[in-house]
């Protein structure tokens, strides 16, 4: 069995890999009731200060209605991510279900893909520390599995996300509120509403986006 290795030393910063639950992250990107989108490349730079950055893994699923404007804009966003050598986009799926004769979609694989990749990366020695950008307590077991491999787990999420006492207790560090304030720079995008936001120079623009359809996240 291959043993995990680490390149960290007294003169070399520890390797960091970032794992983002994209669906949860998307829904939490709100400031004063208006939705915005964080520039993930700049987010990676900000979160990896003091570390040797490996990559940012972004987990989500395509929207179910391929004819909608929201789907078209999401695909443009995906293409932007694929062009970045720093970001790894991992897609799950939306499974159609019927309840009382009404059709809805259940998101599959997103949280499972994230948990598996985080544990496998720890075992293979891809990183010394994992940063989990999520608010779901379903990741607690994955966190402890990573720690069993001798790696540290740092928890960080947007202020709009629900705080999880369980994740805060089990992770080695909690950078919530310090590293991801609501005034992170965002990606340029078509604007439907300009805002005057007296925050700081790194604010560029915020824009309102169409509401994302309701998707229930479950494990497979």
DSSP class of residue 188 equals -
Using an 8 Å Cβ cutoff, are 25 and 158 in contact? yes
Identify the CA nearest to 157 among candidates 177, 185, 130, 186: 177
Query: Which residue numbers in the chain have pLDDT < 50?
Result: 1-2, 181-220
Using an 8 Å Cβ cutoff, are 31 and 206 in contact? yes
Alpha carbons within 13 angstroms on the beta-carbon side of residue 70 total 13
Dmax over Cα atoms in the chain, in whole Å? 62
Query: Quick one: pLDDT at residue 139?
Result: 92
Structural domains in the chain, CATH included, are 15-217 (3.40.50.1010)
Query: Quick one: pLDDT at residue 131?
Result: 95
Query: Quick one: pLDDT at residue 17?
Result: 98
Tens-place pLDDT, residues 9-42: 667 899 999 999 887 776 555 555 555 567 788 8
Tens-place pLDDT, residues 151-176: 999 998 766 566 678 888 999 998 76
Going from the C-alpha of 81 to that of each of 58, 59, 85, 122, 171, the distances in angstroms are 9, 11, 9, 24, 28
Using an 8 Å Cβ cutoff, are 176 and 159 in contact? yes
């Amino acid at each position: 069995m291959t043993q995990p290795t680490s390149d960290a030393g007294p003169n070399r910063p520890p390797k960091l890999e970032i794992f983002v639950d994209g669906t949860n992250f998307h829904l939490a990107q709100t400031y004063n009731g208006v939705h915005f989108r964080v520039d993930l490349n700049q987010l990676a730079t900000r979160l990896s200060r003091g570390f040797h950055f490996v990559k940012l893994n972004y987990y989500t699923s395509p929207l179910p209605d391929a004819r909608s404007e929201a789907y078209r804009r999401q695909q443009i966003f995906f293409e932007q991510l694929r062009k970045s050598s720093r970001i790894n986009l991992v897609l799950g799926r939306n499974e159609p279900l019927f309840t009382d004769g009404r059709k809805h979609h259940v998101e599959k694989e997103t949280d499972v893909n994230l948990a598996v990749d985080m544990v496998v990366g720890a075992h293979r020695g891809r990183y010394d520390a994992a940063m989990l950008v999520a608010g779901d307590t379903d990741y607690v077991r994955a966190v402890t599995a990573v720690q069993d491999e001798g790696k540290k787990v740092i928890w960080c999420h947007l202020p709009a996300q629900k705080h999880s006492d369980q994740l805060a207790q089990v992770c080695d560090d909690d950078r919530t509120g310090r590293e991801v304030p609501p005034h992170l720079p965002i990606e340029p995008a078509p604007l439907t509403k300009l805002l005057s936001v007296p925050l700081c120079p790194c604010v560029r623009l915020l824009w309102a986006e169409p509401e994302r359809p309701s998707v229930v996240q479950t494990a497979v």
